[in-house]
Structure 1
Amino acid sequence: MIHAASFALIDSVNVLLIGVVVALGLIIPPHGPYRKTVALLIGGDWFGVFLLALLSLLVFNNLGGLVISFTESVAFGIVIILAGILIAVLTALGGSNDALIQRILVPLKNPGILTVLTGTILGLAQSITSAPFFLGLIELSATPLAPTWKYSWVILYATLALSLPMLSAVLVGIVRRYPNSVAGHFFDWMRQRPQAMTLFAGYGVGILLIVMGVVELLT
């Protein structure tokens, strides 16, 4: 379970969703519906992550012994390392998310059902392209727990996978209320360096996966 939770936490480094949350904090007026908009967005995103996690776990559980054998083999560690290398390479080759964030913001101007739907689509799209997301679910499937407990853990898994965006939403809310605080100055410092923050997050995830893969091979 610890390994599965670790992958979920790594998956929470969701640069796109965090970027959208930060953008909402900047464009919504001081007394505007920031909390409602962000709550609906992250709630929809959580549902998308939860839904895909539930379906994925169902598939992995049906594979039974194949998944357990895979997690106990050298191949699992190698796959984790390769995923880390791929993420690092894509980070080096990737560009800015600014244009995509601006498109995502369009249906978020008025909080409502479209906000939830946008979050759900975003959660599905981000998770289905995330190696840590599926690696953690493979670990969860191979855990010697009753199926009922495994499916129950999906609720926590989806929550952990969104822990950093949730924390970011809270911090942005604090900064909006206290813009001259230490947190406000730190937020402003990061806001002025979006490319550096994206590279830091991408390389950080890649390095963590490589380290986890090496540990997997050595244990």
Structure 2
Amino acid sequence: MIHAASFALVDSINVLLIGVVVALGVMIPPRGPYRKTAALLISGDWLGVFSLALLSLLVFQSLGAWVVAFAESWTFGLVIALAGLLIAGLTAWGGTNDALIEKILVPLRRPGPLTVATGLVLGLVQSVTSAPFFLGLIELAATGLPRGAQYAWVILYASLALSLPTLSAVCVGVVRRRPRSLVGKAFAWMKERPQQMTLSAGYGVGVLLILMGVWKMIWPG
């Protein structure tokens, strides 16, 4: 379970969603409905992550012993390490999410059902394209827990995958109230360096996966 939770925490380094949350804090006026908008967006994102996680777990469970054997083999570690290398490579090749964030902000100007729907789509798309998301669910499916307990763990898994964006939303709320606080100064520093933050997050995820993969190859059991 610790391995599955570790992948969920790595998956929480969601640069796009965090960027949208920060942009919301800038876009919405000081007395505007930031908290409601952010809460609806993250709730929708959580629902998307949870739905896909539950569906993926069902698929991995249906594969039975094959998934268990794969998760306990050095090959699984190699796949994890290769995923880390791929993410690091894509980070070096890619750019910023500024244009995409601007498009996502359009339906978020007023909190409502469309805010939840935007979060839902964002959660689904981000999870489908996330290697740590699926790797963690393979680990979860390979545990000796009863299936009912695994389904319950999906709730925690989705919550851990949204932990950093949720923390970011809280920090942005603090910054809006106290822009001169230590948190406010830290956010101002990061806001002036979006490219560096994106690269740091991407390389960070890549390095973490490489280390986790090497560890799994050495101790596959």
TM-score, length of structure 1 as denominator length: 1.00
Partner of 2:148: 148
- 2:136 maps to 136
| Post-superposition offset of 1:35 | 0.2
Match of residue 212 from structure 1:
212
Code of the residue aligned with 1:15 in structure 2: it is: V
Q: How many residues align?
A: 219
Answer whether contact 2:19 2:101 (CA < 8 A) is retained: yes
Q: CA deviation at 1:67?
A: 0.2
Cα offset, 1:40, TM superposition: 0.3
Runs of 4 or more consecutive aligned structure 1 residues displaced over 6 Å after TM superposition? none
Structure 1 SS opposite 2:96: coil
Q: Which residue of 2 aligns with 1:177?
A: 177
1:85 pairs with 2:85: yes
Question: Structure 2: how far apart are the matches of 1:170 and 1:52?
Answer: 25
Aligned partner letter, 2:51 = L
Whether the 8 Å CA contact 2:74–2:218 is kept in 1: the answer is no
DSSP 3-state at the match of 1:95: coil
Q: Who is 1:200 aligned against? A: 200
CA distance in 1, matches of 2:54, 2:84: 24
Aligned AA (2:61) = N
Amino acid at match of 2:29: P
Alpha carbon RMSD of aligned pairs, Å?
A: 0.4
2:67 and 2:138 in contact (8 A); partners too: yes
Q: 1:164: which partner in 2?
A: 164
The equivalent of 1:123 in structure 2 is 123
CA shift for structure 1 position 152? 0.4
Pairwise CA distance, 1:191: 0.3
Amino acid corresponding to residue 192 of structure 1 in structure 2: E
TM-score, normalised by the number of residues in structure 2: 0.99
Sequence identity (%): 71
Q: Deviations over 1:1-57 (max 9, x none)?
A: 000000000000000000000000001000000000000000000000000000000
Correspondence list, 1:103-114, <5 A: 103-114=103-114
How many Å separate the matches in 2 of 1:133 and 1:145?
19
User: What is the aligned partner in structure 2 of residue 39 from structure 1?
Assistant: 39
- Equivalent position amino acid for 1:185 in 2: K
5+ residue gaps, structure 2, are: none
Instruction: Flag structure 1 segments of 5+ consecutive residues without an equivalent.
Output: none
Give, in whole Å, the separation in 2 of the partners of 1:77 and 1:49.
24
